[in-house]
Amino acid sequence: MAILEQRDAELFPARANPEETIKTKIDLIATTILKVEENKEKFVNAFNLVKAGFKIPPAFKIANNVADDTLVSTLSLQNPAGMRISAVDGSVLRESLIGVDLIASKARGVVFKFYARKPPVVKYFPQEKNENFNLYGIFQGSNSQDLESFANAERLLSELELVHDIISEESHLDMMIIDGSLFIPEIFNISENVYASKYSKQISDVLIKILKACNENDTLLVGVLKDSIKADFVNIIGKLIPACIDLHAPFKGFLDFDYRLAIQLFKDYDLFYRFLKEGERSFTCKTFPKAANFVPATEFERYLKSNDLGLYSYMIKAVPMDIPLKIEFFARNEAASIANYVAKTSALLYPLSKINVDYSEPSPQMEAHKRVKIPEQDFKVIVDIIRQKTGFCSTMLQKRRERKPF
């Protein structure tokens, strides 16, 4: 067992000796966790002293694509009564047989109509449960990364097609929530992956249709990420500290310990879980495109550039005992447009995400997720039927390690 070392992270001890007892290794890991937590606590304590009265310097905002003046803002709370809010989620399962990889994908959507004095009325899309259930057999030799790209692209395309169908049919939607990121450049830019290139144009086309439909119908489009492991906000804060040490006295507190080591230990959700209070949001930053002179690689990216649109995100903490949600949206690269979108979306998402004190997720998104899940047992039944129809005994189509004879 090993303790992984990070760059410049003297906090981590050397690799455990194989002759050491398991108790020694357990103690080593536990001690390291406590040291990590101690360093994180120092960082958050110093960070908390900074936020009162601090304004992000204008030059720093421009250089790092930050859209807010403050690190933290208080969330407004809008009553959703009278509003129609939709959510779409997708799911995918894979099963490998000898000579073929099976991939099943499905997308489901819901539309909630909220009322002041009674529970919301929910409409489901598609109305037939298995109407858009897709099953694929991949027969050509593909490595695991290629198959993962295919599964992600297929799931995303299924979701986006359903999003466009719902917006087109339900023209008076106030908000459309997509489970996960609105835009994943990696899916488009893996040119050597045959599946990525196959899906790139289809995904580009449907994304453009969605943005046009949302603009025509005045529908707010957001992506809600529950478990983002990125460090976009952390990286910005890592640049902010040395830039402001001489400008704002409380930043001097970061010199009392190795804040550079601490910043390596955080992801966005971890830092803002500790830093944000219930009912607060982080600053907003632009996540794509970050370079002012970026060269569009797809039709969708060309659409973004020609319409002066960018992908922005912020984090909200809706309940005290769950990690924050990351919210993504497309907006014009203008301060007023970005601020307006943040104000409207956060005020609606906040009440929808605080129904359960221990779990933060907008209620329409929660319902869509529950409806879209493909039970693994159902998928295994499909796989078994395929085995039976081939005429081969089941073990001939199974991997050796799955037969488990002992």
The answer to whether 348 and 177 are in contact (CB under 8 A) is: no
Residue 1 forms part of a structural domain: no
Residue 7 forms part of a structural domain: no
pLDDT single digits (tens) 47-65 = 998 887 889 999 999 999 9
Containing structural domain, residue 82: 56-230+267-374
Mean residue pLDDT of the chain comes to 84
pTM for the whole structure: 0.86
Domain CATH for 184: 3.30.2170
Separation between Cα atoms, residue 13 and residue 229, nearest integer Å? 25
User: Residue 50, Cα to own-chain centre: how many angstroms?
Assistant: 28
Our count of domains for the chain comes to 1
pLDDT of residue 6 exceeding 50 = no
CA atoms within 13 A on the CB side of 358: 0
pLDDT single digits (tens) 27-54 = 888 998 898 899 899 999 999 988 878 8
Residue 258 forms part of a structural domain: no
Residue 165 forms part of a structural domain: yes
Angle value at C-alpha 323, between 330 and 164, nearest 5 degrees: 30
Residue 143 forms part of a structural domain: yes
The answer to whether 314 and 284 are in contact (CB under 8 A) is: yes
Q: What percentage of the chain has pLDDT greater than the value 70?
A: 85
Three-state secondary structure along 39-94?
HHHHHHHHHHHHHCCCCCCHHHHHHCCECCCCCEEECCCCCCCCCEEEEEEEEEEE
Residue 5 forms part of a structural domain: no
Residue 196 forms part of a structural domain: yes
pLDDT value at position 189?
Answer: 61
Q: Which residue, among 163, 217, 158, 183, has the nearest Cα to 300 in the 3D structure? A: 183
| Bridging pattern class, strands 309-317 and 325-332 | antiparallel
Residue 236 forms part of a structural domain: no
Q: Which residue has the higher pLDDT, 81 or 155?
A: 81
Separation between Cα atoms, residue 151 and residue 141, nearest integer Å? 15
For 90, phi then psi, to 5°, come to: -130, 160
pLDDT single digits (tens) 103-147 = 888 899 999 999 988 999 999 998 766 566 788 787 766 666 777
